[in-house]
Amino acid sequence: MYLLFIARQGENKMYISRRDFIKQSAVAAVASGVATGAFAEETAFDPKNYEALRRQLRAYYPDECHGEVKDPLQKQSYEKIKAQMYAWAKANPDYDALDARQASYKAIAEHYVPFLFEESPFYFESGVNGGWGGNRPARLVKKLCYHFYKDKSLVPDEAFATLRNRTAGRFLLCCGPFVDEIHHVPPIRVVLEKGFGGIRNEVAQAIEKCPKNDEFGRRELETALLGLDTIREIQLSFAKEAKRRLAAGNLTPQARRNFARIADSAQRCPWEPPKTFYEGLNTLWFIREVLGYVDGLSIFSLGRPDAWLIDLYKADIAAGRLTKAEAADLVARFLITADEHHDKNIPVNSYDDHEMEIPITLGGCDRAGKPLYNELTRLFFDAHLQTDCVFPKLHCRISKDSPQEYLSKIGDMLMKGHAVFALFSDDLHIRLFVKDGYPIEEAREYIGGGCWDGHIDSVMDSDVANYISVVRILELSIYRDPKVEEAAKVQIESFDEAASFEEVHKILYGNFIRFFRNVISQYTRYGRQFAKIAPNPVYTMCLKGGIESRRDTTDGGVPARPRFITLGFLGNVVDSLLAINSVCFEKKICTLKEFLAAVRSNWAGERGQQLRAAAMAAPYWGDGSDASCGEMAWWIRNIYDDIDGFETDQGCKYCLAIYIYREFMYWGNKTRATPDGRRDGDRLAQGFSPSEYRCKEGVTTVLNSIASLPHDCLRASNANLTFDKSAMSADTFAAVFRVYAKKCGHLLQPNCNSVEELIDAQKHPERHQNIIVKVCGFSARFVSLSKRWQDEVIARHRLM
Partner 1 sequence: MKAIILKIDKFSTRDGPGIRTVVCLKGCFLRCRWCHSPESWSFGIQKYPNGEIVGIKMSAEEVMAEVLKDRDFYEASGGGMTLSGGDPLARPAFSLELLRMAKAQGLHTAVETSGYAKPAEIDALLPFVDIWLWDVKKLDAKKHFEYTLRPLEPILENLGRVNSQILKDKESNRHIVLRCPMIPGLNDTNSDLMAIARLADSMKAVSGIDIEPYIPYGIQKAHRLGLKVYEAPQPPPEYGRRILARLSPLTSKPVRLP
Q: How far apart are CA 189 and CA 160, in angstroms?
A: 38
The answer to whether the CB of 722 falls within 8 A of the CB of 794 is no
Q: How far is the CB of 720 from partner 1 (least distance, A)?
A: 17
The answer to whether the CB of 772 falls within 8 A of the CB of 780 is yes
DSSP at 125: B
3 state DSSP class of 63: coil
Nearest 5°: phi and psi at 3? -60, -25
Q: How far is the CB of 636 from partner 1 (least distance, A)?
A: 21
Q: How far is the CB of 749 from partner 1 (least distance, A)?
A: 18
Question: Would you tell me which residues interact with partner 1 (CB under 8 A)?
Answer: 2, 5-8, 11-25, 27-29, 31-32, 34-35, 624, 697-701, 704, 726-729, 731-732, 734-736, 738-739, 742-743
Q: How far apart are CA 381 and CA 386, in angstroms?
A: 9
Q: Give the closest residue to 762 by CA, choosing from 749, 751, 773.
A: 773
Q: How far apart are CA 574 and CA 471, in angstroms?
A: 10
Of 39 and 640, CB closest to partner 1? 39
Written as one string, the DSSP assignment of 721-778 is EEEEGGG--HHHHHHHHHHHHHHS-SEEEEEEE-HHHHHHHHH-GGG-TT-EEE-SSS
| Ranges assigned E (strand) in 549-648 | 563-568
Q: How far apart are CA 527 and CA 520, in angstroms?
A: 10
Of 357 and 697, CB closest to partner 1? 697
Of 12 and 518, CB closest to partner 1? 12
Nearest 5°: phi and psi at 7? 55, 45
For CA atoms 657, 659, 663, 667, the dihedral sign is positive
Q: How many CB atoms lie within 10 A of CB 395?
A: 27
Nearest 5°: phi and psi at 751? -125, 150
Query: Who's near 370: CB < 8 A, 6+ residues apart?
Result: none
Rounded to the nearest angstrom, the gap between the alpha carbon of residue 286 and the centroid of all alpha carbons in its chain is 20
Q: How far is the CB of 577 from partner 1 (least distance, A)?
A: 24
